[in-house]
Amino acid sequence: MKVARVILTIFALFISVAAVGQSRGIDVSRYQKNIDWKRVKGAKIGFVYIKATEGASYTDPYFAKNIAGARAVGLPVGVYHFFRMTSSAQEQFNHFKRTVGSRKMDLIPMIDIEVADGCTKAQIQKRLDALIALFKREYGCAPMIYSSQVFYNKYLAPRYNRYHLYLGRYGGSRPVIDGKGSYSIWQYTRRGKIAGITTNVDICRFNPKYTVDAIRIPKNAK
């Protein structure tokens, strides 16, 4: 009986460690420079979001290299666009679509919105609604929304609470949003250390309600 209990304990520990690995993710851009993706995967990272574009004209110079490297080692990959109020939703979407092209995304696309560019809440929401509609039409799914907890509650809550939310909050406390709903992914540090990346990196984990399967892009998406 004791042997059986020991075996069950070891098995439970193995499953727990595997689950923790699958629940942790990172997001990367040019700031992480050259990444050793094989070592990243070996560090029990379960998924990655990679910056593609910003506004209507900026393309992250490491985007193509990052998405190829991450997919080559089998990491589930998502792609994100940094939203700006300095250009229209259509211009930003066109730029994202051109940049991503036929590269396969495993995870739903993400809109990163962190700056108001001097605009009001109503103005931001109107343009964000337009961009979300374009993403839905093209990819057959709603995008995830990334923001800090502070920015999200000031400019976006509760209108977007029904979407998957990837929220940054540091210091040990999980994100809390105004209104009904909750975050899907919590970015808990900007100063993470991961094997294969020489700089600090954002690290996140899922809300216990979710796994990576909850944010996989539909099979019929482009």
Q: Give me the residue spans of the domains in the chain.
A: 2-215
Instruction: Give the per-residue pLDDT at 9.
Output: 34
Q: What is the pTM of this model?
A: 0.89
Instruction: Give the per-residue pLDDT at 125.
Output: 98
Cα atoms in the Cβ-side hemisphere of radius 13 Å centred on 140: 9
Q: Which of 36, 54, 91, 114 is catalytic?
A: 114
Instruction: Give the per-residue pLDDT at 216.
Output: 97
Where helices occur in the chain by DSSP H, the ranges are 2-23, 37-42, 63-72, 89-100, 121-139, 149-151
Instruction: Give the per-residue pLDDT at 53.
Output: 98
Active site residue 60: no
Q: What is the pLDDT along the chain (222 residues), one digit of tens a residue?
A: 454 443 333 333 333 333 444 489 999 999 999 999 999 999 999 999 999 999 999 999 999 999 999 999 999 999 999 999 999 999 999 999 999 999 999 999 999 999 999 999 999 999 999 999 999 999 999 999 999 999 999 999 999 999 999 999 999 999 999 999 999 999 999 999 999 999 999 999 999 999 999 999 988 765
Spatial contact of 107 and 216, defined as CB atoms under 8 Å apart: yes
> What whole-number distance in Å separates Cα of residue 206 and Cα of residue 161?
16
C-beta atoms surrounding 174 within 10 Å: 13
Active site residue 213: no
Instruction: Give the per-residue pLDDT at 222.
Output: 58
Domain 2-215 superfamily per CATH: Glycosidases (3.20.20.80)
Q: Which of 27, 54, 106, 112 is catalytic?
A: 27
